[in-house]
Amino acid sequence: MAPPRLDFKRRFNSCSSATQILQDEIVEGKTVLITGGSSGIGVATVEAFANKAAHVIFTGRNVQSANDLIQKIKVTTPHAKVHFMPVDLLSLKDVRRFAEEFTNHHGTLDIVIFNAGMFGGSHVITEDGYEAAFQVNVLSQLYLLGFLKPLILKATGPRIIFVSSDWLKQTTISLSNLSEEVLSPSANSYPWRQYANSKFCQVLLSQYIQTHWGSLGVNSYSLHPGNLIATNVVRQWRLGQALAWLFKPFTKTLDQGAATTVYCAAAAELADHGGEYWADCWIAESFHGKQPKLAEAVWNLCEKMISAKVPDDYTRTSS
Ligand SMILES: NC(=O)c1ccc[n+]([C@@H]2O[C@H](COP(=O)([O-])OP(=O)(O)OC[C@H]3O[C@@H](n4cnc5c(N)ncnc54)[C@H](OP(=O)(O)O)[C@@H]3O)[C@@H](O)[C@H]2O)c1
């Protein structure tokens, strides 16, 4: 489906970097939460914002990588405000712990970047009873969003970003087959299909947010960062690792991989263009278009799946 025409000139492309994009944007003093900042594209995203005087909080599990990143940033930007807060997205209990700690320390949240992601190798069921990739990529980050919503609504022109993937083209989700079992299969499933379904759900959640929170001043964007960027995302998939290694000379660098994320999060001209899907720093063809009914159904089902596993006081994020 052809994307809507934009009423401004294209400034960046597939070769642009996150650093370059932030050169002319003012992000100083903005509070930015980046999930999965301890590795890959997230590292470049953290660096770009921290070096431009934003207040950056990033998450992940690998404390050593996170500390190394902070040290690296402090060399170029000694007064950078950059903090690491660990969280394991495989556990809703840990997400809640993290969210409570985060909301105790921060009053306002200008930008949230849901960048953390995994491509599962073997079929794994989490302690909450869900397929691991779906829980990490979708359920845990949606659960987190519920806690963050009050902080987001306190910001001026807040933005929510979902780092999705063009793999979503392989999705098997539709209105006619939507079920908990399709989203989170209890038995063996193809990892690429699980990944595609979770990435498609991210786009749908972004569309839902735009529809329901847009009038509250929130803008939500989903995006494809690039193909086969050499990161750890396929750490559990040998063939993927080999492909990423083979294609490394021809694919985007990490700074280029973070470019569309940073563009959606900070570019002034996108202030009224939430709800769209982006790639190479421009609006992209959306393979499945806008699907408000499916977006609503996926949102509601995900919330039901979360509610079933967490304490009764969980307030619906859509409320
Ligand atoms: N690389 C590509 O070509 C490509 C293409 C399309 C889309 N993407 C998307 O880009 C995003 C960034 O991925 P990447 O390529 O940079 O991969 P990456 O190097 O593996 O980074 C993924 C990040 O997510 C975090 N993460 C994964 N599982 C987690 C868990 N259970 N709990 C908490 N954090 C977790 C990782 O933290 P730890 O390492 O600390 O566990 C890491 O910081 C993902 O959403 C991915 O789907 C990547």
Terminal alpha carbon distance of the chain: 31
Q: Is 223 in the pocket of ligand 1 (CB under 6 A)?
A: no
pTM score, whole prediction? 0.96
Query: What positions carry a catalytic annotation?
Result: 195
Alpha-helical runs (H) found in 54-91 = 63-76
What domains, with CATH codes, occur in the chain? 18-307 (3.40.50.720)
pLDDT in tens, the chain (319 residues): 677 888 899 999 999 999 999 998 999 999 999 999 999 999 999 999 999 999 999 999 999 999 999 999 999 999 999 999 999 999 999 999 999 999 999 999 999 999 999 998 889 999 999 999 999 999 999 999 999 999 999 999 999 999 999 999 999 999 999 999 999 999 988 888 999 999 999 999 999 999 999 999 999 999 999 998 989 877 777 777 888 788 788 889 999 999 999 999 999 999 989 999 999 999 997 778 899 999 999 999 999 999 999 987 776 665 5
Q: Is 258 in the pocket of ligand 1 (CB under 6 A)?
A: no
Q: Is 89 in the pocket of ligand 1 (CB under 6 A)?
A: yes
Which residue CA neighbors atom 1 of ligand 1 most closely?
229
Contact 143, 135 (CB under 8 A): no
Give dist(CA 125, CA 128) in Å, integer.
8
Pocket-testing residue among 231, 236, 250, 261, ligand 1, by greatest number of atoms within 8 A of Cβ:
231
What are the Cα distances from residue 4, in Å, to 24, 148, 211?
Answer: 25, 30, 17
